[in-house]
Structure 1
Amino acid sequence: MATPTTHILAQSTRDLVTIVGGPFYEVKLGRKDGFESKAHKVRGNIPTANHTVHDMMSIFKKNGFSLKEMVALSGGHTVGFAHCLEFSNRLFGPRADPELNSQYADRLKDLCKNHTMAAFLDPITPGKFDNMYFKNLKRGLGLLASDHALFKDNGTRPFVDLYADNQTAFFEDFARAMEKLGMVGVKGDKDGEVRRRCDHFNKLNV
């Protein structure tokens, strides 16, 4: 039996998380792939680099997530990278964002002289899934404005502090939130299919 693209992506993500030191969590099977895939429908459904906490929470809340779960899921930024175009507004202009660590900002400015470059979301332990992301936020090392907003906002800062101090709590909450995320938008039999090719809808296959 074919495996839906959604399962392949979800299981690959979970396996990567565990390979680089993060928690194991269950990926529930049975999802179907949708009949539609359009870039413009992504807008307003996932956070962007410059979203405020209010902006981000409006997206998470409509999918049934709490403020704490949003912060836990944001901890996935302990691995990965972002292109300069996503954060260069914090670097260039009259002066760099004063809430960025000044030495960090200088390094990013040098890197982003070439705007096609990218920087690790966690500059300290970029290849390890740990709670360093949250520690970085407290040191002015949050790369994206939306990252730093979690520490700056009074509603989310207690969770940043919790996860910075307690990696076990972060791992447990992240795993539970990822399992819950896997249940968002599950499609019924009439709304989805198991694609025979990951990059094509079945009705387009011959």
Structure 2
Amino acid sequence: MIRLLIADDHPVVRDGLSGMFAADPEFEVLGEAADGAEAVRLAHALRPDVILMDLRMPGMDGVAAIGELARRGNDARILVLTTYDTDGYVLPAIEAGATGYLLKDAPRDELLRAVRAAAQGQSVLSPAVAALLMNRVRAPGPEPLSPREREVLALVADGKTNREAAACLFLSEATVKSHLLNIYAKLEVGDRASAVAEAFRRGLLTPR
């Protein structure tokens, strides 16, 4: 028997899902949660095999709850069940640790199969989500720093001042400062040390 926890802020959705799974002897619904915090608490107390997790909920949302469950070492498989299939929802949920991602318009049989697969540790993705992820893999994002910006940042990482970096690259000091400001903006940092650290973290710079 697969033990389930259902997390959704809409009572009618929780009732519908509970009724559907309760009618099948293969499943047991252990509890229902109306938000992410309650889902985390019940998951710890009830130890379900699979959690059906909505994403947009008040207070702690689904992504935060998934991350918190992973941090606590909870071994429940988490199957996202939501109406949203855009990058801003799919990628954070999967990165947080979701086992699968389904949309709420999935047919009943597909949902039952997905829960069975999730309980066995298999990844389950709706066709729309699988296509989105495939497109992301085929079309990686642009290089965040230009070759010249990387040259400037490499010299800064070596301890060069703006004037010294300008001399090495045959640029004016004002141009080096302009490059650094662009680098800060692209890496979302506020100073030289943070820019260097972030560049190493992203693999844009490598130790010499």
State the TM bucket, normalised to the shorter chain: under 0.3
Q: By percentage of residues, which structure has more strand?
A: 2
The normalised TM-score by structure 1 is 0.24
Q: By percentage of residues, which structure has more helix?
A: 2
By relative contact order (CA 8 Å, sep 6+), the higher-ranking structure is 1
Larger radius of gyration: 2
The normalised TM-score by structure 2 is 0.24
